[in-house]
Amino acid sequence: MILKQTSACFRGLAILMVMASHYAEWMLEASKYPVVREFLCGLGVLGVDIFFLVSGYGLVKSAGERGVGRSFLWNRLSTCYLPYLLVVGMIMFLEGGFRDWGDWKDYLVGSEYWYISVQMVLYICFFVCYGPETVLPEKWKSAWKKVRDILLTVMVIGFTYWLYAMGKADFWFLSNGAFLIGVYIARLESGTYQKETGWLTGIIPYVLIASLFVLGISGFCFHRTSLMRWEAVKSLAFTMSVAMVGLLHDFKSVPLRVLGRYSLYFYLIHGFIYRFVGNGFMGISPMIILFLCLIFTLVVGLIVGPAVEWVMAWITSRGTEYLRKNN
């Protein structure tokens, strides 16, 4: 089992990878070492793979504990979409506000923060596939459980192909496979066959070795050929490697857990912090700018994150109280 503290550590590592890729893209465009820039930029997709892996895994575990009902939707809104609206709305206000309907549309659908828009679609797909269990008659529940994962897979693949057809960048859709891997692993863990035989635990080290081998081969081939299929293989092999490591070991790093807990806020603000620092400290060394960006991002994120969480908790408690009184 991938424990919650391990998932938090993974998210902490992932947000560092995402920020490193963005800073490399923004600051090393004229670098004398393009291989370094290419490597750092590539970390971003792999970091998002980690986010989607632990997301798919966590959704199945949460569904098993509490079911998928109205509270599931509210939890997703209050921990992802509504914080996005609050934080990014404030950023847009500080940067001049909304100029036209196009700005409002991009803001509401997360066009500039593609992770949010894709993640919310995956949440909806999961709800559509797992939610009916709470309302279906008992005699139909067993049949629905047999097809829900197939339906989820079809929906995610269809969404992925739609993104591809729309011409979205590869990082918009490559990590969708990581989401499905997280779902599959959590479902295998909860299966009765695994509980009776323990076969999953036994094969984890071998899957890890195979995944690392495929990751090495695909990474080399992608670097040599730049073919999309090799990038996809590399992404999925990396995801499997991370998943197997998470199943084998429990990580307890406090700094990574803190970074993971507030990773959403670091993701939302680090671009704004870069623009703020870049405009305010023009002409100084890129390394100093990078250091200032990291410090400001950490400080602001650790202030904004708890503040937004408090607001969401207050709204949740008031909403719960209102529903209780009216029922």
Contacts of 253 (CB under 8 A, 6+ apart): 9, 12
Range of the domain at 256: 4-326
Buried/exposed 88-127: b ≥16 CB within 10 Å, e otherwise: beebbeeeeeeeeeeeeebbeebeebbbbbbbbbbbebbb
**For the chain, what is the domain count?**
1
> Measured between alpha carbons, how far is 187 from 194 in angstroms, rounded to an integer?
10
Task: Give the pLDDT of the chain (327 residues) as one tens digit per residue.
Answer: 888 899 999 999 999 999 998 888 887 766 666 777 777 888 888 899 999 999 999 999 888 766 677 778 888 889 999 999 999 999 999 888 888 888 899 899 888 898 899 999 999 999 988 888 777 777 777 788 888 889 999 999 999 999 888 888 777 788 898 999 999 888 888 764 455 455 566 677 767 777 777 777 666 655 544 555 667 788 888 888 898 888 888 898 999 999 999 999 999 999 999 988 877 666 677 778 888 899 999 999 999 999 999 999 998 888 777 767 776
| CA-based nearest residue to 174, from 118, 99, 121, 223 | 118
Q: What is the reported pTM?
A: 0.87
CA-CA-CA-CA torsion for 311, 315, 318, 322, nearest 10 degrees? 170
Q: How far apart are CA 138 and CA 62, in angstroms?
A: 21
CA 210 – CA 178 distance, rounded (Å) = 17
User: Cα 68 to the chain's mean position, in Å?
Assistant: 20
Helices (H) and strands (E) in the chain, counts: 14, 0
